[in-house]
């Protein structure tokens, strides 16, 4: 089973916006993590399931990631991982049309609006889901507390911190 450090972006049913995000240049793209320059795999578009998602994975950072093949893993520290995450959020700021996004270790479980409303309302209100980015219009459906701040035009977030 793979453990992926990644940016996952949920576009709801807007496949056009997801395809546009998957084509954001420049590719190949590298991000700084301390002394490392870590390349990114090409974005992966998934239309299986209830919504369209795009995932962006740094090369050789996760554990057992099939796309990495036999590449040796980057041995990154927590500080380097946080710098890598900030680079992924900078990439996310270039995307449009998404509903929810997050960087982390397998963050897909946080990318469903109904699940957030039903199972994570307290965390949303208290601001204890750092790194979660939401489309501004979701404020009417989700109990967002005062810790939520602007991310990019039309989006709010709980600023990222490595856990």
Distance set, CA 47 to CA 21, 54, 64, 126 (Å) = 14, 9, 23, 32
pLDDT in tens, 56-110: 999 999 998 998 888 999 999 999 999 999 999 999 999 999 999 999 999 998 9
- pTM comes to 0.92
């Amino acid at each position: 089973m793979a453990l992926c450090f990644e940016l996952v972006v949920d576009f709801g049913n807007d496949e056009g916006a997801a395809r546009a995000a998957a084509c954001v240049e420049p590719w190949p793209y590298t991000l700084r993590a301390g002394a490392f320059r870590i390349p990114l795999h090409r974005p992966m578009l998934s239309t299986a399931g209830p919504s369209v998602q795009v995932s962006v994975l740094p090369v050789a950072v996760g554990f057992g990631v099939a796309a990495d093949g036999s590449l040796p893993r980057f041995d990154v520290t927590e500080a380097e991982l946080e710098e890598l995450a900030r680079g992924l959020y900078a990439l996310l700021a270039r995307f449009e049309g998404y509903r929810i996004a997050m960087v982390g270790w397998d963050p897909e479980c946080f990318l469903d609006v109904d699940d957030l409303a039903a199972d994570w309302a307290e965390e949303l209100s208290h601001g204890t889901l750092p790194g979660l980015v939401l489309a501004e219009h979701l404020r009417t459906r989700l109990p967002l507390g005062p810790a939520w701040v602007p991310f990019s035009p039309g989006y709010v977030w709980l600023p990222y911190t490595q856990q």
